[in-house]
Structures are given as C-alpha cells and as structure tokens.
Amino acid sequence: MSEYILEMHQITKEFTGVKALSNVNFKVEKGEIHCLIGENGAGKSTLMKVLSGVYPYGKYKGDIVFNGSIQQFNKINDSVDAGIAIIYQELALFPDLAVYENIFIGNEVENRGVLDWNQTIIESQKMLDKVNLKVNPETLIKDLGVGKQQLIEIAKALSKEVKLLILDEPTAALNEDDSENLLRLLRELKSQGITCIMISHKLKEVISIADKATVLRDGETICTLDASKGEINESIIIKNMVGREINAIYPKRENKIFGDKILELTNWCAYDAQLGRQVSKDVNLHVKQGEIIGLAGLMGSGRTELALSIFGNPKSYKLQGDLKLHGKSRQFKHTSEAMKAGIAYVTEDRKGDGLFLIQDIKSNISVANMKGISSNGIINVNEEIIVGEKYRKSMGIKASSLEQVVGNLSGGNQQKVSLGKWLFVNPNLLILDEPTRGIDVGAKFEIYTVMNKLISDGMSIIMISSELGEILGMSDRVYVMAKSEIKGVLTSEEASQEKIMQLATQ
C-alpha cells in the first residue's frame, strides 16, 4: 500500500462573490512529484494557499491531513514548522537585501545567540550550489533577473527542513536550460525523499517530470492522472483541463502580407552607465508592417534591454546609432514619446511595472489611454466600463466583475489584463516580453489568435520569448540574441530549435 503524505478532503474556499474551490479532494503520496494543473483561475494557487496556512483554519471548509494527522494551520509558520515549504507564483523576495539575507531571513544562522553573518554567507553559498546558481551571495536581489530570483526562492525553501516542497509555476520565468536544471534538481530532491507538488502550465515539463497529475477546473477536481498507467500525455491533459480538444497550439495565419518597414535599427548601441556595460551592441534589426518578429535568446542575452531602449529608454541608457520609425529617424526622451509615436511594450514583470495591483480591472485597462475614455478632458466612467468589458470578453479574463482588484486575479488573468491595457492604446508596434508566461494552453491559443488578428489589421509585433515552441510557432522571422548582440536572423522556414540554440549560446 502506498502511503499518503498529504490528503486534502472536501476543500471549499470562497471569496466574496467567487467560489474559488468547491469540495476539492487532493491526495499526494510520499516521495512523488505531483503536478497540479488547470486553466487560469481554476483554483490551483488557492488550494496551495489553503494548504500552507495563508488562508488559516476556519477560513475554508474541509480537512487537511498531513504526515498522518489532521492539521489546523493558523498561519504560514505553522505549515513551515510541519515541514511544508511553498514558493509562490509571484516572488516574495526583498529587492534591497542581499541574496544571503533573503535566503536566511526569518531563519538566521546564530552562534551563541548572535547572528553569524559569515556563517550565513557560507551556508547560503551551499544552498546556491544546490540550485546550480552561480551568483555572489552578497549581490542585491534587485540586481538579478526574475529567473535568478526564482532559483533563490528555491534555495531559500531548501534552507529549511522540508518534507513537502510546493512550487507554484517555478519555471514560468526560466529559460529552457535553467528549467532543465530545475527539473533535474526536483528529481534529485525526490531521490532524497522530498515530496513535491508543482503547479505548471508547461505541459512538456509536466509530462517529463510528473508521477501523478491532478487536474482542477473551475474550482473542482476533475481527475488524477498516473504516469505509470501512461495517462500523462498531452491530449489527455488538455482534454481534461479545458473540457474540449484543441487540435493546434498555434493558430494558422492566412495571407501573410508584409508592408513597409515600421521600425529599423541601424548600429544601435545602448550603454548602461549604472552597470558600466554595453547592453545592446551594434544591433541591426527591422520589423515590417504585418510581421511578427521573434526575439530569442537566453536569459540575460539583452532582449529586454533592447526592448526598453526602443520604448523611450526608461533606464536612461546612453544610446548610439539610428532608430527609424516609419522611415524617419527618431529619438525618444521618454516612454510617453514612444507611446505617442505608436509603440507599446508589455513588460515581462507584470507585478513590478505592469499593473496597479490594488486597482480594479477596468482602471488598469484604461490607464495607458485615458484619452480613449474621455471627452473634452473629462473621463467618461461608462466608456471605461464598455472598454473594460470589451477586453474582458475578447481576452477571456476570468473575474467576478470589472471591479475586481487586479491583485486578486489569478496569475494568468493578470497577464491578460496587462495585455488588454496595451491593446487599448492601439499601437502600430507592439513589443511583447514573454507574453504567455503563466498562461494556460487554452488562453495561450486565445492570445496567439489575438496576435494574428492584430497583425492582419496591420500592426507589427516584436515578441520576446524564452519558449522556443512559441518562437517557432508564431514568428515570421527570428532574431537570436546573445551577449547583447544579434547573432543571427532566421526566416520561419530556416528556424529550428537547434539553430536557435546554437546562435543563442555563441
């Protein structure tokens, strides 16, 4: 008989107006890697928050049996003490503190009652080694990209005595290599007896790593699939997740017609004075009307920096070279000038600079284009609702109402709001930085369909993505970056996973 480390019985959790979980049953065997999957808003993160005491005992219905006994966690520390570590979807590190301080915060290394920082640094180095991350423990968190920050979250979890490790979309922000690393790490931890629950929208990795996979849909348990019975494959997963079959992940685009060059960069250089280094080197690139350009590369290859240097240069890089928009050389002093000229940029970090989390959906969608909902300088509240409703429908944003605070939306739905906001600006050139990070397969398809429609309406898109499948599936041409340079450009016919990786690792 197998032994369950965790049994969640009949869990129901309601927020005002939203039933996030309804009689959910979820059982995890000791030592297995169990994936929790389902569409955006299905209730995955909520279920894990119930388990970890974020929503304390009494704020949900049902029972949690962990390690053989019924648990009533009143706060997060209770679940930590029981041996449960959870890494949230939205990272929770302190940007102004060093790596080692973040790893051991609340769990400091003491020597006779005194904090021992030297020992803390040594210990954190060990944790960093465990997650194969090569950074100096004294680096500040804010100087690291989101991908590295994710690994630090995991290092932090490992610094405690953990029996059950919960990861909410751990690889969403990681490139293929780092994701592979992480999956290897999870297998290693499994061999040490650590049980793991992983939430992921990346079916490929679910298939490669899961012993079991439980599917949630609309707050209910649909089924638990078992790899040893051959049940964990793409078609079974998708069918159970969305309740229907999806034939193609990337929608076909008819009649590709490209117009004039919208954007052209010539010998474009950007120098970051703060970091004291070149972040874009001699970039030559163009985008035509009606074209989707894929910008591929490993994390840190300079893709986001390039996007920022085009989008009004908010980081105040020293720029050199020529930027032409519609054939005219332009210099933007501010993002507002770039926006006026028809450029929009959907950031990869929706929490940091994409959204106003304490505001509702409709005001987040209208915020970048107040003119669009005003007449004679006065905001028309009804118009704001109409616009919000339009994007809620077309993007399939799942929420109880337009008044729902964005911070309470599921991760994927936040991403859709962020995209809706920029679509409402109606740009000519849309720069998407990791547009489908954290988005479920069904919604990905919807977003790709939206992209195709925008293109056929004459827009141009630059799509930065670490998912090679998406780059290959959506781009007309692919520029590959490494070390702040363009290492090559491939047509959609030429492009392949191997060729891109080869250029990206130059």
Ligand X SMILES: Nc1ncnc2c1ncn2[C@@H]1O[C@H](COP(=O)(O)OP(=O)(O)OP(=O)(O)O)[C@@H](O)[C@H]1O
C-alpha 83/C-alpha 182 separation (Å) is 21
CB of 38 to ligand X, least distance (A): 5
Smallest gap from residue 338 Cβ to Mg ion (A): 32
Which of 34, 44, 156, 477 touches ligand X by CB under 6 A?
44
Binding range to Mg ion, per CB under 5 A, among 24-32, 81-89, 229-237, 318-326: 81-89
To ligand X, the closest distance from the beta carbon of 402 in angstroms equals 13
Q: Which of residues 279-318 bind Mg ion (CB under 5 A)?
A: none
Site string for ligand X, 148-177 (x = CB under 6 A): ------------------------------
- 468 scored as a contact of ligand X (CB under 6 A): no
- In terms of CB distance, is 41 or 342 closer to ligand X? 41
Spatial separation of the C-alpha atoms in residues 70 and 213, rounded to whole Å: 23
Tell me the number of residues near ligand X by CB under 6 A: 21
The contact mask relative to ligand X for 425-444 (x = CB under 6 A, - = no) is: ---------------x----
Identified binder of Mg ion from the candidate list 41, 45, 121, 131, rule CB under 5 A: 45
Binding characters for ligand X, 91-120, by CB under 6 A (x = yes): ------------------------------
Two structure tokens written together for 366:
């209208």
Q: Which is nearer to Mg ion, 89 or 347 (CB)?
A: 89
Select from 411, 420, 435, 488 the one that contacts Mg ion (CB under 5 A): 411
Nearest-approach distance from CB 503 to ligand X, in angstroms? 32
**Residue 132 burial (CB count, 10 A):** 12
Q: Which two tokens stand for residue 355?
A: 């959204």
**CB-based contacts of 481, cutoff 8 Å, min separation 6:** 295, 296, 297, 301, 302, 303, 306, 487, 504
SS3 491: strand
Contact 173, 351 (CB under 8 A): no
| Nearest to ligand X of 13, 281 (CB atom) | 13
> Judged by CB under 6 A, does residue 41 bind ligand X?
yes
Pick the binder of ligand X from 6, 24, 45, 345 (CB under 6 A).
Answer: 45
Among residues 428, 498, 500, 485, the alpha carbon closest in space to that of 461 is found at 428
Rg for the chain, CA atoms, rounded? 23
| Residue bearing tokens 């790490």 | 185
Using CB under 5 A, count the residues that bind Mg ion.
4
Question: Which helix (H) or strand (E) segment is 269 a member of?
Answer: strand 261-272
159-167, 324-332, 337-345, 404-412 -> range binding Mg ion (CB under 5 A) = 404-412
Which residue of 6, 8, 43, 178 would you call a contact of ligand X, by CB under 6 A? 43
Residue 40 as a binder of ligand X (CB under 6 A): the answer is: yes
Our CB check for ligand X shows the closer of 168 and 476 to be 168
- Of 373, 333, 363, 355, nearest to 415 (Cα)? 355
Name the one residue in this structure whose structure tokens are 């304390």: 56
Distance CA 290, CA 476 (A): 10
38 in contact with ligand X (CB under 6 A): yes
SS3 of residue 345 by DSSP: strand
Report in angstroms how near the CB of residue 453 gets to ligand X at its nearest.
23
Encoded amino acid at 360, one letter: D
Q: Tokens for 241?
A: 């997740």
150 vs 102: CA distance, rounded Å = 12
Q: Which two tokens stand for residue 454?
A: 């925008």
Alpha helix segments (H runs only) across 52-175: 76-81, 99-104, 117-130, 146-158
Binder of residue 465, out of Mg ion, ligand X, none (CB less than 5 to 8 A by kind): none
- Among residues 79, 413, 460, 466, which is the contact residue for ligand X, using CB under 6 A? 413
Q: Identify whether the C-beta of residue 41 lies closer than 8 Å to the C-beta of residue 413.
A: yes
Report the nearest approach of ligand X to the CB of residue 202 (Å).
12
Site of interaction with ligand X (CB under 6 A): 15, 18, 20, 38, 40-46, 89, 398-399, 408-413, 440
